[in-house]
Amino acid sequence: MDRKLTESYVCIDLETTGLEAKRDRIIEIGAVQVENNRIVREWETFVDPDRKLDENIAALTGIHDEQLCGAPQIAEVLPEVFAFIGDHVLLGHRVMFDYAFLKKAAVDNRMSFEKRGIDTLKIARKYLPQLESRGLEYLCRYYGIRHCAHRALEDARATVLLYQKLAEQFYEKEAAVDDQNLFCPRPLCYHVKRDTPVTIPQKEQLYKLADKHKLVLEYDIEKLTRSEASRQIDRLLAEYGR
């Protein structure tokens, strides 16, 4: 394993409709490209998730439905974000969270996305166990890093600075550990199946339920996946009956 500190990478951060990559969707992407320990490029975009945001997500991120109206779909965004990432290693605070959402989107759009990554959360958990929290917001306060939490580009910028602080403080100690250097990129593995579009019988059942119970649905039935439609049908049947 290469013992040299990784100083060129892309730091990625996402805001999403929830915590589950297999059922939730991306609403904002922020990415920072670092070369030789210096930020050289930044990239960000909103993404239309084709659904209304829960109030708690809007409150947490400060992102509202009006800002996402007219934003590109994830299928439009992926080629651009993947081109920005290129062959770089991914850096993230809980990097598997962000990777899982991007991998799921890639699989759904018949694209390949295999990366190696470095996780600042794992480093912080190992070397800062005495802290009350190892969340990004808390660690930024601990290290005096300016940070506007829960917006993608701001979180990505803050994670770059956090990585540099952690490397300065702990890299030499970590580099002495045989084959377990957390500052070295490791393959990111997330296995997921491609979602297929909503079926005609599912659409018919959803339209029938919505009409029968006079419901105004907060999503476009035509844009649901098969698994999403199944969950919505189950939810409506449980709440309203047939």
Please check whether residue 227 is in contact with residue 23, taking contact to mean a CB–CB distance below 8 angstroms: yes
Q: Crossing angle of helices 200-212/226-240, nearest 10°? A: 30
CA distance 146 to 201: 52
Taking alpha carbons only, the member of 166, 185, 162, 182 closest to residue 174 is 182
Q: Which of 64, 147, 150, 213 is catalytic?
A: 150
The question of whether 150 is a catalytic residue gets the answer yes
d(CA 95, CA 132): 21
Among 231, 217, 185, which Cα is nearest to 8's? 185
Give the amino acid at 108. D
Helix/strand/coil percent split, the chain, to 5: 45, 15, 40
Active site residues: 150
